[in-house]
């Protein structure tokens, strides 16, 4: 007896398996994956929301808003927060690594886990993908 699975169902099952593997595998942000948007929604957006949005979304402390790619690129008083492709030149990465005495984020929370820093660094290195926002009518 031969089992047949339609290509559509197979793709769906593979995408689910890849998402589960990514979610359980730790911190890698794979730029070559066709699931970049899903990786962003599963890992990066929640991290930014949990660690940064309180101070850097609607209130934009220091002039920095991190709730959009444009906000990160525009930056705040200290300059652009990210340099896509170059985590070492990105203030966001320097701030979360807390290697610069002037910029240590998130404020009042201590240093975030190395796994989260690596995830942000990998994301910036991969180009800092942010899905397009759809206008609401």
Q: What is the pLDDT along the chain (137 residues), one digit of tens a residue?
A: 444 544 444 444 444 444 333 433 444 555 444 478 888 999 999 999 999 999 999 889 999 999 999 999 999 999 999 999 999 999 999 999 998 888 899 988 889 999 999 999 999 999 999 997 554 44
* CB-CB contact of 13 with 21 (8 Å): no
Question: What's the pTM value of the predicted model, to 2 decimals?
Answer: 0.72
By CB neighbour count within 10 A (0-12 exposed, 13-18 middle, 19+ buried), where does 124 fall?
A: buried
* CB-CB contact of 61 with 55 (8 Å): yes
* CB-CB contact of 64 with 71 (8 Å): yes
How many other CB atoms sit within 10 Å of the CB of residue 75?
Answer: 20
């Amino acid at each position: 007896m031969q089992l047949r699975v339609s290509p559509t169902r197979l793709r769906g099952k593979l995408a689910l398996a890849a998402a589960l593997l990514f979610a359980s595998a730790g911190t890698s942000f794979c730029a070559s994956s066709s699931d970049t948007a899903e990786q962003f929604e599963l890992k990066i957006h929640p991290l930014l929301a949990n660690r940064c949005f309180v101070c850097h979304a609607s209130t934009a402390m220091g002039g920095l808003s991190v709730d959009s790619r444009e906000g990160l690129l525009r930056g705040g008083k200290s300059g652009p927060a990210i340099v896509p492709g170059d985590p070492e030149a990105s203030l966001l990465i320097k701030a979360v690594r807390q290697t610069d005495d002037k910029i240590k984020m998130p404020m009042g929370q201590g240093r975030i886990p190395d796994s989260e820093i690596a995830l942000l660094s990998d994301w910036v290195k991969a180009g800092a993908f942010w899905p397009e926002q759809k206008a609401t009518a």
